[in-house]
Amino acid sequence: MADQDKPSREQAEAAVRTLLNWAGDDPGREGLLDTPKRVVDAFGDWFSGYSDDPTEYLKRTFEEVEGYDEMIVLRDIEFESHCEHHMAPIIGKAHVGYLPDGKVVGISKLARVVETYARRLQVQEKLTAQIAQVIQDVLQPRGVGVVIEASHECMTTRGVHKRGVSMITSKMLGSFREDARTRAEFLQFIDVGPGR
């Protein structure tokens, strides 16, 4: 969205008052007076990923790694996101692996990439694919794998009300997609599932 189309803070707070009213409460009562301000602040936090460019995190790389060319995996990257259908939380973990081609990136940057895309409205498939694709495009490794396991509060606290359900998605690119051994090594490293 272009900046000039962005609603003002006052408009955003007024929208929250409308929703409070619609829910059946009185936005003028004392306990709710500051709620629109808090909700807009919370939106600023949950959706800060729109003003962040994930490619920036991956541009600083290191080449002095003694020719290290084996798989690098960051597993159990916890994240909170929101589904684009209901704006309900998606809470889970991402596992990211890649096979470097000369360049490696600081590991915190992989977690920052996850954070940036998570702090936007998402569907899990898109979140998974976006993380894998930006790593492939910017770092240009021999391959990338991303696996995400998450629970969707739009399924647990409303709608079908199914607790304890996890959704697992994966996106494999390059050698992770083409070479069964690479894929198997990655899946073994991250050891997804409740048993571990």
Ligand X SMILES: Nc1nc2c(ncn2[C@@H]2O[C@H](COP(=O)(O)OP(=O)(O)OP(=O)(O)O)[C@@H](O)[C@H]2O)c(=O)[nH]1
Strands (E) located in 11-164: 61-62, 72-83, 89-99, 104-105, 121-122, 143-152
Active site residue 86: yes
For helices 107-118 and 124-139, what crossing angle results, to 10°? 140
The single residue listed with the structure tokens 């990655």 is 186
Residues in contact with 145: Cβ distance below 8 Å, sequence separation at least 6, in sequence order? 95, 96, 97, 98, 132, 170, 171, 172, 173, 176, 183, 186
Closer residue to Zn ion (CB): 84 or 137: 84
Active site residue 84: yes
Active site residue 152: yes
Q: Say if residue 161 carries a ligand binding annotation.
A: no
- What are the distances in angstroms from CA 79 to CA 12, 61, 93, 129? 25, 24, 6, 16
Q: Which residue is nearest to ligand X (CB)?
A: 159
Q: Which of 83, 104, 134, 146 binds ligand X (CB under 6 A)?
A: 83
Does 15 contact ligand X by CB under 6 A? Answer: no
The distance in angstroms from the start CA to the end CA of the chain is 42
Q: Which of 85, 102, 108, 168 binds Zn ion (CB under 5 A)?
A: 85
Closer residue to ligand X (CB): 22 or 180: 22
Q: Say if residue 95 carries a ligand binding annotation.
A: no
Q: Measuring CA to CA, which residue among 58, 71, 61 is closest to residue 109?
A: 58
Q: Say if residue 154 carries a ligand binding annotation.
A: yes
Does 160 contact ligand X by CB under 6 A? Answer: yes
Active site residue 161: no
Active site residue 153: no
Does 124 contact ligand X by CB under 6 A? Answer: yes
Residue 191's binding partner among ligand X, Zn ion, none (Cβ under 5 to 8 angstroms by kind) is none
Q: Is 89 helix (H, G, I), strand (E, B) or coil?
A: strand
Q: Which of 6, 29, 38, 85 binds ligand X (CB under 6 A)?
A: 85
H or E segment to which residue 161 belongs: none
Does 126 contact Zn ion by CB under 5 A? Answer: no
- The token duo for 80 is 């909170």
Does 162 contact ligand X by CB under 6 A? Answer: no
Does 121 contact ligand X by CB under 6 A? Answer: no
List contacts with ligand X (CB under 6 A). 83, 85, 123-125, 152, 154-155, 159-160
Which residues are annotated as catalytic?
83-86, 124, 152, 154
